[in-house]
Structure 1
Amino acid sequence: MSERPRLTVLSGPSGVGKSTVVAHMRKQHPEVWLSVSVTTRHPRPGEQNGIHYYFVDNDEFDKLIANGELLEWAVFAGNRYGTPRGAVLEKLDNGVPVLLEIDLQGARQVRESMAEALLLFLAPPSWDELVRRLTGRGTEPQDVIEKRLEAAKIELAAESEFDTTLVNTSVEQVAAELLALLGAA
């Protein structure tokens, strides 16, 4: 590859299906590199350090911020999450398409630090569908669902800040559109 690929950021409200779309695309195209986030939260059963996340304590996270080693970072549900800058730049320099799957706050930080990045907004087919997905998980108490719905309203209102909107009506279709935008198709 002669030209360096653009960093691609996929964002959108909680419950819209970001990780499902990304997992589907990467199953067929493992050459697309998905950045592994650093987090201060504890591993869940089955999660492995360096594969699902890089698990660090608060002191280590503070050092990463202080040394400018994070492309973006955010606080979510009391834990901090961030994207290691070095690994992303190394992959891009080597011509590898890089995808970040991050929240709105992180996407805004990437826009500030890497203006050339392509920001993609994954939208639900409708508000009712998003509500169904968030409440249909059956894994969270009602107060957590209410917080997610409030956050989703704010996130949906930020759609115009993104370069392109993809509507998640079909995981297969959106994964194909995402792949084409990554330039890996």
Structure 2
Amino acid sequence: MNQRRGHCFIFSAPSGCGKSTIVKALSELDSRLVTSVSTTTRPKRSYEVEGQHYFFVSDEQFDELVANDQFLEYATVFKHRYGTRREVVTKRLETGLDVLFDIDWQGARKIKQQETNVVSFFLIPPSLEELNRRLTSRSQESSTSVDYRMSRALDELSHFDEFDYAIVNDALAATCSLIHACIEQIRRSIRPSVPPIDSILKKLL
């Protein structure tokens, strides 16, 4: 019997919508879900672990990886570059594991162009006020950074229709439960039904 090739499950959202937290929670909930660890030129934050949160490289090292076609996708986000290593993802998919991607809409586009079995989720905040509160509560975010990320949020939210599913992340546990149920259905080739979000987006945008 041929080995089942895994799915690529993409998660995108404006900064502060909880996508990294949700991806981590899903990988802990289901042993068949593994996180794609991105390579970045962003400085490492105090709590981050090399190889667990990101692979941290210099701009020169990133340039070399690009020149050698080592990335499945890469993009510039908030003045720093992020990329997904092609070889690492392929090996995991071929063993039947499903790979979780925490990337922006630009990266999502590129992965969809190059991979099969791709399903994408876009996470939305309950309100822009709540998004601002979440960003402000981050101790490492300056007021300038919060303002910049908020200004980017509206543009990022306008790309929701490029994704297969859009889900409001209001309560973490409920959101994880809903997404995991969707993943289980997708594995069985069943199309999940999720609540409509048009009315919420109209309020946000």
TM-score clears 0.5? yes
Q: Is 1:62 aligned to residue 24 of structure 2?
A: no
Percent of aligned positions that are identical: 38
**What is the CA deviation profile of residues 50-80 of structure 1, one whole-angstrom value per residue up to 9, with x for unaligned ones?**
2222122222211211222111111233321
Name 1:50's counterpart in structure 2: 51
Which fold has the larger relative contact order, with Cα–Cα distance below 8 Å and residues 6 or more apart in sequence? 1
**What is the CA deviation profile of residues 85-128 of structure 1, one whole-angstrom value per residue up to 9, with x for unaligned ones?**
11111111110011001112211222222364111101112222
Q: Normalization by structure 1: what TM-score? A: 0.88
> CA distance change for structure 1 residues 42 and 135 in 2, over 3 Å: closer, same or farther?
closer
Q: Is 1:39 aligned to residue 40 of structure 2?
A: yes
Name 2:11's counterpart in structure 1: 10
Moved more, 92-101 or 22-31: 22-31
What value does the CA root-mean-square deviation take over the aligned residues?
A: 2.2
What SS does the aligned partner of 2:4 have? Answer: coil
Moved more, 11-20 or 28-37: 28-37
What SS does the aligned partner of 2:122 have? Answer: strand
Paired with 1:181 and 1:84, the residues of 2 have a C-alpha distance of: 26
Paired with 2:32 and 2:21, the residues of 1 have a C-alpha distance of: 17
What SS does the aligned partner of 1:60 have? Answer: helix
Structure 1 residue runs without a partner (length 5+): none
Verify the 8 A CA contact 1:39 1:55 in the aligned structure 2: yes
> CA distance change for structure 1 residues 75 and 179 in 2, over 3 Å: closer, same or farther?
same
Moved more, 107-116 or 122-131: 107-116
Verify the 8 A CA contact 2:3 2:94 in the aligned structure 1: no
Name 2:147's counterpart in structure 1: 146
> CA distance change for structure 1 residues 144 and 41 in 2, over 3 Å: closer, same or farther?
closer
Name 1:103's counterpart in structure 2: 104
> CA distance change for structure 1 residues 43 and 128 in 2, over 3 Å: closer, same or farther?
closer
> CA distance change for structure 1 residues 55 and 171 in 2, over 3 Å: closer, same or farther?
same
Paired with 1:73 and 1:129, the residues of 2 have a C-alpha distance of: 29
Verify the 8 A CA contact 1:6 1:98 in the aligned structure 2: yes
Paired with 2:87 and 2:183, the residues of 1 have a C-alpha distance of: 20
Quote how far apart the aligned CAs of 1:134 are.
Answer: 2.1
Paired with 1:34 and 1:110, the residues of 2 have a C-alpha distance of: 15
Name 1:81's counterpart in structure 2: 82
Q: Is 1:23 aligned to residue 24 of structure 2?
A: yes
Quote how far apart the aligned CAs of 1:30 are.
Answer: 4.0
Q: Is 1:130 aligned to residue 131 of structure 2?
A: yes
Moved more, 55-64 or 150-159: 55-64
> CA distance change for structure 1 residues 66 and 123 in 2, over 3 Å: closer, same or farther?
same
Quote how far apart the aligned CAs of 1:42 are.
Answer: 3.3
> CA distance change for structure 1 residues 181 and 65 in 2, over 3 Å: closer, same or farther?
farther
Count of residues in Structure 1 that have an aligned counterpart in Structure 2: 185
Q: Normalization by structure 2: what TM-score? A: 0.80
Moved more, 167-176 or 125-134: 125-134
Structure 2 residue runs without a partner (length 5+): 189-205
Quote how far apart the aligned CAs of 1:15 are.
Answer: 0.6
Quote how far apart the aligned CAs of 1:2 are.
Answer: 4.5
Moved more, 91-100 or 171-180: 171-180
